[in-house]
Amino acid sequence: MPAAKTKSNGKAQLIRDLKSGTFAPLYIISGEESYLKEHYLRELKQKVVDPTFSDFNLLEFEGKGLTPEQLTEAIDSYPAMSEKKLIIVTDFDLFKPPAGFADVLPGMLGDLPDYVCLVFYFDVLEGKPDKRTKLYKTLEKTACFADFAHQEEHELVAWIERRVRALGCTIAPEDASYLIFLCGNSMTNLAGELEKAAAHSTTGEVKKYIIDAVCSPVLDAVVFDLTDAITAGKFDRAVSLVGDLIAQKNNEVMIFTTITRHIQRLYAAKLCAEARGGEKQLMEMIGSKSPYYARQIQNAARRVPLSWLRGAASLCAQTDSALKGSAVDRQKQIELTLLTMATTLKEAKA
């Protein structure tokens, strides 16, 4: 069996293989960006398997319930009227395999026949490799690890612009960045939101006001708005947003965890500004890949005193403990914390 041409960047290798038509014997496809994972899995199906003989040469298994005998038989059987067969196994935990697999996997995956293209596809399971295992040492030599993380903001902006053009519209880069800020960085979700926005454009342009009118914000974006309401002295608006989130079946603890994280990021932005740190440093501090988001956090942090942010962060920690540790009325507890934040901010600005 020829050695796999993997490596340092398995995602790029998979894309090159799809273009050249020369495939590795083993691909491990994982990562948080489902849109790209699904896209390249479809590409593999189209390029490796002749649809005329797909009933014979495309074998798909769920990891749960798969037996060593089933996988061995799939690998050992020859393709019909084709040079290659494609075997796809979804959500099989390679590094904590079911009974019966641990001893056979290294030998099986280390010497795949030339006619096999085997894919371990991680949909629900994370698929993070355990580099301490014997199996990983085998896979290092034979497998192409294609990990699809969420795209960087500039990559997403370029993709959004292409996607909008395909829908017969245009979008400005700044509005594309705002869409990511509002709707998150999942390409699957963004694709649906773009279709809604394009369908509502009467001018051929997807503008911010259209995005605000028809697109659904993610929790982080709502919490940003909620915290802005507190810092602007609009307590009723903040409470209304909490009620809306709970009505949408968001868990109260998750809502408040997001509020806490946002306060911590504002605090980090304030400290970064006082230390004369730049945008890149702030992005590292808050764990964000988005320059647009970092700028929004910076702008919001300028409007509040450092002392208030320090106290708000401490208050959030206390409330978080109360929400998780007792049978309190969680919605009222969150509202009380927001009221305390609003009151102390008014005093701090007085």
245 and 119 assigned to the same domain: no
Residue 170 carries which side chain, given as an amino acid letter? Answer: T
Q: Render each residue's pLDDT in the chain as its tens digit; 350 residues.
A: 444 444 557 999 999 999 999 999 999 999 999 999 999 999 999 999 999 999 999 999 999 999 999 999 999 999 999 999 999 999 999 999 988 898 899 999 999 999 999 999 999 999 888 888 889 999 998 899 999 999 999 999 999 999 999 999 999 999 999 999 999 999 999 999 999 999 999 999 999 999 999 999 999 999 999 999 999 989 999 999 999 999 999 999 999 999 999 999 999 999 999 999 999 999 999 999 899 999 999 999 999 999 999 999 999 999 999 998 777 799 999 999 999 999 999 998 87
343 and 244 assigned to the same domain: yes
159 and 118 assigned to the same domain: no
**Structural domain that includes position 258:** 219-349
Which H, E and C letters describe the chain, residue by residue?
A: CCCCCCCCCHHHHHHHHHHHCCCCCEEEEECCCHHHHHHHHHHHHHHHCCHHHHHHHEEEEECCCCCHHHHHHHHHCCCCCCCCEEEEEECCCCCCCCCCCCCCHHHHHHCCCCCEEEEEECCCCCCCCCCCCHHHHHHHHHEEEEECCCCCHHHHHHHHHHHHHHCCCECCHHHHHHHHHHHCCCHHHHHHHHHHHHHCCCCCECCHHHHHHHCCCCHHHHHHHHHHHHHCCCHHHHHHHHHHHHHCCCCHHHHHHHHHHHHHHHHHHHHHHHCCCCHHHHHHHHCCCCHHHHHHHHHHHHCCCHHHHHHHHHHHHHHHHHHHHCCCCHHHHHHHHHHHHHHHHHHHHC
pLDDT at 338: 96
Number of structural domains (the chain) is 3
CATH code of residue 135: 3.40.50.300
pLDDT at 78: 95
CATH code of residue 174: 1.10.8.60
341 and 248 assigned to the same domain: yes
pLDDT at 181: 97
43 and 73 assigned to the same domain: yes
| pTM, to two decimals | 0.85
In a domain, 160, yes or no: yes
In a domain, 2, yes or no: no
pLDDT at 325: 79
Last residue of a domain, one of 214, 230, 263: 214
pLDDT at 8: 54
pLDDT at 4: 43
Last residue of a domain, one of 173, 195, 214: 214
